[in-house]
């Protein structure tokens, strides 16, 4: 990063920090604090809005951040990460945390950012990442397991998120196969697992998680129905606490997954399964299957009852929609 970009990011962070008190700040005041012109402050504000920060211009008064949250502060979570033996890399913005980790993979390594310019979702979709609002991170995990045994991995990641949030007191959490975390059929978190490393050596697994924490009403451009922890609880949520709980649970579950495979998680999955015993549509490249979801098998494949038979459907081949009854 060149020094001009770094300086601009620092100015953007400074404005966020000033606005995070939830009060109205005049352009003049912000200009004085940053020692820049009012016109330049306006440009910075425009940039923040482009990055998805929900700022309001209050006429005659200044700028207001309606649902403020503090910026991530790696100094604060570094202790917790140290206890988990996790190294980390934090930048104000990145193209994609998965991409960054892919370029320079490290085991037990966290890559986290406030904003992604090219956040990736499953099936080539884009993952919108409004600035300083949600959690966007990737975790590096090296494993000796053969690739064939990693089928249920993304389901284990979903279970880890749900368990962590459950421990923290959030309710009505459910999972939609293969790995969406949902509440009342609205998406709360998405998972994108990618693999690197050569076939002969250990596999390098990139576990990307996007978790809606403080996102509120203004993201009309997101195609799917969504919710956030702030929506569920009616208050702004400390992203750092959520991050640490999720990583902790993920580490516990990755260890168990390595020792016992997905079979150890089959029951947990079925407990949170949104579609269990419901009529569903399974979209495949060659058509749509209509049937009744019957949970998952010991390798994490979806069990679908159709044509009087229960058949396993494997990850990556299908998407699933709960039919309106
Ligand atoms: C999905 O489509 O449901 C998966 C979304 C995964 C988004 C996360 S955000 C952090 C990480 N970096 C990315 O580019 N994508 C994942």
pLDDT digits (tens, 9 = 90+) for 173-219: 999 998 899 999 899 999 999 998 776 778 999 999 999 999 886 55
Nearest-angstrom CA–CA distance, 200 and 146: 10
Task: Tell me: pLDDT of 22 over 50.
Answer: yes
Task: Output the CA 140–ligand 1 centroid distance in Å.
Answer: 14
- Check pocket membership of 134 for ligand 1, CB cut-off 6 A: no
- Check pocket membership of 125 for ligand 1, CB cut-off 6 A: yes
Pair 199, 289 in one domain: no
Q: Which domain holds residue 303?
A: 275-322
For residue 322, the model assigns a pLDDT of: 57
Pair 192, 266 in one domain: yes
Task: Output the CA 210–ligand 1 centroid distance in Å.
Answer: 5
Nearest-angstrom CA–CA distance, 2 and 66: 32
Pair 121, 30 in one domain: no
pLDDT tier at 270, thresholds 50, 70, 90: very high
Pair 292, 219 in one domain: no
Q: How far is CA 151 from CA 148, 178, 195, 255, 272, in A?
A: 6, 10, 12, 15, 19
Pair 168, 256 in one domain: yes
Task: Output the CA 209–ligand 1 centroid distance in Å.
Answer: 5
The pTM assigned to this predicted structure is: 0.92
The proportion of the chain whose per-residue pLDDT surpasses 70, expressed as a percent, equals 94
Pair 137, 230 in one domain: yes
Pair 30, 123 in one domain: no
Please calculate the CA angle 243-228-299 and round it to the nearest 5 degrees. Answer: 65
Task: Tell me: pLDDT of 316 over 50.
Answer: no
Pair 236, 110 in one domain: yes
* 64-90 b/e (C-beta count within 10 Å ≥ 16 → b): bbebbbeebeeeebeebbeeeebebbb
Task: Output the CA 232–ligand 1 centroid distance in Å.
Answer: 21
Count: domains in the chain: 3
- Check pocket membership of 272 for ligand 1, CB cut-off 6 A: no
Give which of 176, 175, 191 is closest to 281, Cα–Cα.
Answer: 176
Query: Could you read off the pLDDT of 83-130 as tens digits, one per residue?
Result: 999 999 999 999 999 999 999 999 999 999 999 999 999 888 999 999
- The alpha carbon of residue 271 and the mean position of all alpha carbons in its chain are separated, in whole angstroms, by 22
Query: Could you read off the pLDDT of 208-252 as tens digits, one per residue?
Result: 999 999 988 655 667 778 999 999 999 889 999 999 999 999 999
Cβ pair 262, 268 in contact under 8 A: no
For residue 219, the model assigns a pLDDT of: 59
Pair 155, 19 in one domain: no
Q: Which of 111, 116, 127, 153 to mutate to test the pocket of ligand 1 (most atoms within 8 A of CB)?
A: 127
Cβ pair 50, 57 in contact under 8 A: no
- Check pocket membership of 190 for ligand 1, CB cut-off 6 A: yes
Pair 40, 126 in one domain: no
Pair 86, 216 in one domain: yes
Closest atom of ligand 1 to 96 CA is: 14
Task: Output the CA 136–ligand 1 centroid distance in Å.
Answer: 7
Task: Kindly report the protein residue whose alpha carbon is nearest to atom 9 of ligand 1.
Answer: 210
């Amino acid at each position: 990063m060149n020094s001009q970009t770094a300086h601009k990011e620092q100015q953007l962070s400074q404005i966020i920090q000033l606005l995070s008190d939830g009060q109205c700040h005049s352009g003049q005041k912000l200009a004085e604090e940053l020692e820049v012109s009012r016109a330049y402050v306006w440009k910075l504000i425009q940039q923040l809005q482009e990055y998805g920060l929900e700022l309001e211009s209050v006429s005659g008064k200044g700028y207001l951040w309606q649902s403020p949250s503090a910026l991530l502060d790696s100094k604060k979570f570094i202790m917790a990460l140290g206890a988990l033996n996790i190294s980390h890399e934090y930048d104000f913005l990145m193209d994609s945390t998965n991409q960054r980790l892919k370029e320079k993979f490290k085991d037990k390594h966290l890559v986290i950012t406030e904003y992604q310019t090219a956040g990736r979702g499953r099936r080539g979709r884009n993952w919108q990442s409004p600035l300083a609002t949600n959690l966007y991170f990737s975790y590096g995990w090296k494993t000796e397991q053969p690739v064939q045994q990693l089928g249920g991995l993304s389901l284990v990641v979903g279970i880890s998120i749900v368990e962590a949030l459950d421990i923290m007191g959030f309710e009505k959490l459910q999972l939609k196969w293969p790995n969406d975390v949902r509440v009342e059929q609205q998406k709360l978190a998405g998972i994108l697992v990618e693999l690197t490393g050569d076939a002969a050596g250990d596999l390098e697994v990139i576990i990307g998680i996007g978790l809606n924490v403080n996102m509120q009403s203004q993201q009309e451009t997101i195609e799917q129905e969504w919710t956030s922890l702030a929506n569920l609880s009616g208050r702004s949520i400390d992203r750092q606490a959520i991050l640490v709980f999720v990583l902790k649970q993920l580490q516990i579950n990755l260890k168990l997954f390595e020792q016992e495979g997905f079979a150890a998680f089959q029951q947990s999955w079925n407990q949170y399964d949104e579609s269990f015993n419901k009529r569903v549509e399974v979209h495949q490249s060659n058509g749509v299957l209509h049937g009744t979801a019957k949970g998952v098998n010991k390798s994490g494949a979806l069990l679908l009852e159709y044509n009087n038979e229960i058949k396993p459907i494997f990850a990556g081949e299908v998407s699933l929609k709960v039919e309106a009854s």
